[in-house]
Amino acid sequence: MKLKNDTFLRACRREEVERTPVWIMRQAGRYLPDYMKVRRDHSFQEVCKTPELAAEVTIQPVEKIGVDAAILFADILTPAEGMGIDLAFSPGPVIAQPVRDRKGVEALRIPDPRESVPYVLDAIRLVRERLDGRVPLIGFAGAPFTMAAYLVEGKSKHGFPGIRSMLYRDPETADLLLGKIADMTAAYLAAQIEAGAQAVQLFESWAGLLAGREFERFALPHVKRIMEAIAPLGAPRIYYAGGGGALLHLLSDCGADVIGVDWRVPLGEAWKRIGQDMAIQGNLDPCALFSPADRLEAEVRTVLDGVAGRWGHIFNLGHGIQPDTPWENARLLVETVHKLSRWGVR
Ligand code: CP3
């Protein structure tokens, strides 16, 4: 089936587009009144595990905000349950028995996604059917280091000292853990693409916690392995490196087609460090969505100026949208990106 709007996929491939595509990390979520309506009657986990509900909230931002891509509604921790992790949300992830030692790592299973997350794959099929080619659907997973940060800590904790101390105290166990997460993730993303995801993003939200040497040693090889494993499936691959400004020069051969960058590095500079033969995604500060309307336009212009008319830019925030963002401003952002990036204007 032909897509009515394939600007996102074309930008991933650095092809020409009539206007810059835009989507918003965490675009399905609490800032949207429609999402909160669904959450009144259902827990976050229920929404994730009920294809009907997951499909509904996945499509909400396409209809309400006008984004150029949908992203599957789930969490980066969702597939950890199939590895044997007891997971709850309150609202962030809470793991009953964090993975702290060799025994804990050895006990982790590498599940078949068709058995462990059938609801995710069903949600993807349902979203594709309901989108009916309006925009493409992005699948996603957490990158191994970021996943490991949660599995070892058991919850969000500033700096995630649990995984970082494991890298020094017991690097062999850290390798085993990261490798198992990578194996699970490669199978998970492949299953998502086979079910209908037309691109995938690996969220390395905590890239910025690592020095270059540790990033190269513990994070990057696993990312590469996942990217290579799914390459034959042909779906564009995005690697989002949160806080990764100091690591950008290491990312040119991570195997992704697109690098997602946060707001701390101007895009022109980021592109220089990554290399011009990759596409780039980003990078408005999520808090810029609290600007008055005329100021927001100036902020969007600053991001687009950094791109300087090159092909291969996907507009996004540099991090997930804040739950208290006025939703109308998210819609204004999309309209503004489209208006300022039309052919002839660039
Ligand atoms: O982008 C989307 O719209 C798709 C859905 C999505 C969610 N989480 C839904 C969610 C995606 C892609 C994620 C990824 C995710 N989850 C990341 C990586 C991106 C990032 O923000 O850096 C991380 C680190 C997580 C782990 C996680 N899940 C945290 C830290 C939290 C709590 C923080 C918060 O926002 O309150 C969650 C919960 C979560 N994941 C919610 C949603 C909509 C809130 C749950 C609710 O509805 O109460």
Q: Which of 75, 128, 239, 240 is catalytic?
A: 75
CATH number at residue 92: 3.20.20.210
For 215, the domain range is 31-279
State the pLDDT at residue 346: 54
The β-bridge partners of 316 are 283
The pTM of this model reads: 0.97
Give the three-class secondary structure for 89.
strand
54 occurs within a structural domain:
yes
Tell the residue nearest (CA) to atom 13 of ligand 1: 75
Atom of ligand 1 nearest to the CA of 323: 35
Candidates 210, 283, 220; CA nearest to 252 is 220
Gap between the Cα atoms of 100 and 233, Å rounded: 35
The helix or strand, by DSSP H or E, that contains position 317, with its residue range, turns out to be strand 313-317
Is 225 an annotated catalytic residue? Answer: no
320 occurs within a structural domain:
no
Distance 7 CA to ligand 1 centre (A): 25
189 occurs within a structural domain:
yes
Tell the residue nearest (CA) to atom 10 of ligand 1: 75
* 208, amino acid identity: G
Domain count, the chain: 1
Q: Which of 35, 150, 188, 239 is catalytic?
A: 150
State the pLDDT at residue 344: 61
235 occurs within a structural domain:
yes
Atom of ligand 1 nearest to the CA of 47: 47
Q: Which DSSP string corresponds to 101-114?
A: SHHHHHT-----HH
> Is ligand 1 within 6 A of the CB of residue 204?
no
Ramachandran assignment for 243, one of left (phi > 0), alpha (psi -120 to 50 degrees), beta (any other): left
19 occurs within a structural domain:
no
Q: Are strands 87-89 and 93-95 parallel, antiparallel or unpaired?
A: antiparallel
Pick out the chain residues at pLDDT < 50.
none
Q: Which DSSP string corresponds to 241-284?
A: ETT-GGGGGG-TTSS-SEEEE-TTS-HHHHHHHH-TTSEEEEEE
325 occurs within a structural domain:
no
